Amino acid sequence: QKEVEQNSGPLSVPEGAIASLNCTYSDRGSQSFFWYRQYSGKSPELIMFIYSNGDKEDGRFTAQLNKASQYVSLLIRDSQPSDSATYLCGAGTYKYIFGTGTRLKVLA
């Protein structure tokens, strides 16, 4: 059974700090990985996708992929209360597997 695992949290960080969200996956054949943000009662929205080893930066967000360790992470710099949401890690190209999500709370 292919799996993506995340700590459910909540992860609490003070405003302005770096939030670090982590995810591991079991299928070594997975090629594409992504992070979606989901506010309470809303639909998921894509934050970042990554498919190459290393870091990928977009504004305050950095995704990191380590295929040898089967590990994906998302760093959020200068965290804001508006970043408080559930972050879903996932893998796939057509057939997608998501983790259960990590709830992030940014404290003002």
Partner 1 sequence: EAQVTQNPRYLITVTGKKLTVTCSQNMNHEYMSWYRQDPGLGLRQIYYSMNVEVTDKGDVPEGYKVSRKEKRNFPLILESPSPNQTSLYFCASRAKGDNEQFFGPGTRLTVL
Residue ranges in contact with partner 1 by CB under 8 A: 8, 32, 34, 43-46, 49, 88, 90, 94-101
Nearer to partner 1, 56 or 67 (CB): 56
**Dihedral (Cα; 99, 82, 105, 107), 10-degree rounding:** 160
Nearer to partner 1, 33 or 76 (CB): 33
Q: Compute the least distance from the CB of residue 100 to partner 1, in Å.
A: 4
Q: Compute the least distance from the CB of residue 28 to partner 1, in Å.
A: 18
Is 11 in contact with 19 (CB distance < 8 Å)? yes
Nearer to partner 1, 66 or 100 (CB): 100
Q: Compute the least distance from the CB of residue 7 to partner 1, in Å.
A: 13
Q: Compute the least distance from the CB of residue 66 to partner 1, in Å.
A: 19
